[in-house]
């Protein structure tokens, strides 16, 4: 997998096939801010639903702020899962705005960061990272500590794609989990389609009388119980 830092874009994530345009959120529209945002000195949790490019920030279970963000494009989706902030940096790289909050996603380098493309906020425009307006990420950076939780929800199979060697993502992780449950895979469920995943998939295909091509297609998804027959 290649990471290219260019023009404020995180070029990370897997390449998929077939996608649907999603309606963007208008970042020019003000987002309601809970009054308590000015009375807390720290926050401890972030929640994002990938169906809509908004970030909700919590303190002790109470919503204290909502920010418009930019999320990943359908072929480079923002990683779905439960993560932690593992590092905080200023001036992390060219094009990433003024602040960086790194996440512990196992299949690549993803984070929450600013942008030099503020017009992209409210859209599905990134290559997996979570973009914020610079003034917003600076405010969040001051409030949130390393170790805080970041929960990203959504359907990993919303934009169904054929999976093959070299792909990464939450959909790959889901396939690994199903192969493990079926007794064919013993490696880490890290969202990386490597040799171990491919080898296990071929044996699974053999056991289900599917073409032994080591590629997850619609028939494989169905045999794994991830799609209805």
Query: DSSP secondary structure string, 178-217?
Result: HHHHTTS--S---SB--HHHHHHHHHHHHHTT---SS-B-
Residues 72-109: pLDDT tens digits?
998 899 999 999 999 999 988 778 999 999 999 999 99
113 as an active site residue: the answer is yes
Residues 199-222: pLDDT tens digits?
999 999 999 999 999 999 999 999
Instruction: Give the Cα separation of 215 and 206 in Å (integer).
Output: 12
Residue position matching structure tokens 């409210």:
122
Q: Which CATH class is domain 4-153?
A: mainly beta
Please give the average per-residue pLDDT across 5-19, as a whole number.
38
Would you say residue 29 has pLDDT above 60?
no
Would you say residue 45 has pLDDT above 50?
yes
Instruction: Classify residue 191 by burial, with Cβ atoms within 10 Å: 0-12, 13-18, 19+.
Output: buried
159 as an active site residue: the answer is no
Residue position matching structure tokens 């992390």:
92
Residue position matching structure tokens 């990471």:
3
**Half-sphere CA count of 142, side-chain side, radius 13 A:** 10
Residues ≥6 apart with Cβ < 8 Å to 181: none
Rounded to an integer, what is the distance from CA 209 to the centroid of its chain?
Answer: 33
The overall average pLDDT reported for the chain is: 86
* pLDDT (0 to 100) of residue 39: 59
Instruction: Give the Cα separation of 151 and 136 in Å (integer).
Output: 19
Exactly one of 10, 59, 65, 113 is catalytic; name it. Answer: 113
* pLDDT (0 to 100) of residue 89: 95
Instruction: Give the Cα separation of 103 and 83 in Å (integer).
Output: 6
Residues ≥6 apart with Cβ < 8 Å to 54: 25, 31, 48, 66, 67, 68, 69
* pLDDT (0 to 100) of residue 20: 33
Q: What size, in residues, is the chain?
A: 229
Q: Which residue spans of the chain are classified as CATH 2.40.440.10?
A: 4-153
Q: Which helix (H) or strand (E) holds 35?
A: none
Exactly one of 59, 129, 167, 189 is catalytic; name it. Answer: 129
Tell me the whole-structure pTM to 2 decimals. Answer: 0.80
Please give the average per-residue pLDDT across 37-65, as a whole number.
90
Neighbours of 63 (CB within 10 A): 17
Would you say residue 133 has pLDDT above 90?
yes
* pLDDT (0 to 100) of residue 75: 86
| 210 phi, psi to nearest 5 deg | -105, 160
């Amino acid at each position: 997998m290649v990471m290219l830092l260019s023009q404020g874009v995180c070029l990370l994530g897997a390449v998929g096939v077939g996608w649907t345009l999603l309606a963007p959120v208008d970042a020019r529209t003000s987002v309601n801010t809970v009054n308590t945002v000015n009375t807390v000195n720290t926050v401890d949790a972030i929640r994002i639903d990938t169906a809509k490019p908004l970030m909700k920030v919590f303190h002790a279970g109470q919503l204290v702020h909502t920010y418009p963000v930019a999320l990943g494009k359908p072929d480079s989706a923002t990683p779905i899962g439960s993560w932690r902030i593992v590092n905080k940096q200023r001036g992390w790289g060219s094009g990433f705005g003024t602040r960086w909050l790194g996440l512990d996603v196992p299949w690549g380098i993803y984070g929450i960061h600013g942008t030099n493309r503020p017009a992209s906020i409210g859209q599905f425009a990134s290559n997996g990272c979570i973009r914020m307006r610079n003034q917003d990420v600076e405010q969040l950076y001051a409030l949130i500590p390393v170790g805080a939780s970041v929960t990203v929800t959504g359907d990993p199979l919303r934009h169904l794609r054929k999976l093959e060697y070299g792909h990464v993502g939450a959909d790959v992780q889901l396939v690994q989990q199903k192969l493990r449950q079926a007794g064919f895979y013993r490696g880490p469920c890290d969202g990386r389609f490597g040799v171990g995943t491919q080898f296990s998939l071929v044996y699974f295909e053999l056991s289900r009388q599917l073409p032994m091509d080591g590629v997850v297609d619609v028939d494989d998804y169905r045999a794994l119980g991830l799609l209805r027959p």
